[in-house]
Amino acid sequence: MTTERFEVQREIAASPAKVFAVLRDPNGHVAIDSSGMLQSAEGELVDAVGDRFVVHMDRESLNDYPLGKYDVTVIITKFEPDTLIEWTISGVIQPPIKHLYGYRLEPSETGTLVTSYYDWSQIEEAYRDKGIFPVIPEAALRATLGILARTVQ
């Protein structure tokens, strides 16, 4: 791990397929979000790299950057059923920032070992000195895994 990436893990007592079903559903992202930013989503279940859906956001929940309410498009960058899903976002801030979020799933004796990560190592140079990264703290990833566990168990 570098200072430009967080990874957290949690054992979840559910199958990888059950966990992945939440992660490929736009509304699943809203349901498990611990930041409070994700308000609602529009779009179909994702099935492949390049699939997209819209999330209606409210940055006021972080009280850190005055964006208020806005929309982002989630763009799937990696997709392996029941194993890996990763995405970036495009939205009001242009050029796209190029930060990545994702989940790796591994079968375990108790169900699934879920690794959640947030990677901002590829962000555009224009954003590096803005002091806004990481957007969410590592604790938010841990909290989201707790909500995910509660959702699927």
Give the residue, 77 or 94, on which the prediction is more confident: 77
Pick the CATH number of 5-152 from 3.40.50.1370, 3.10.450.50, 3.30.530.20, 3.40.1180.10: 3.30.530.20
Distance, CA of 43 to CA of 22 (rounded, Å):
14
In the chain, how many H helices and how many E strands? 4, 7
φ, ψ for residue 12, nearest 5 deg: -125, 130
Looking up tokens 């990545």 gives: 100
Do the beta carbons of residue 12 and residue 118 sit within 8 Å? no
Distance, CA of 7 to CA of 43 (rounded, Å):
27
Q: What is the pTM of this model?
A: 0.92
pLDDT digits (tens, 9 = 90+) for 25-51: 999 999 999 988 899 999 999 999 999
For residue 1, pLDDT over 50 is answered with no
Average pLDDT value for the chain = 91
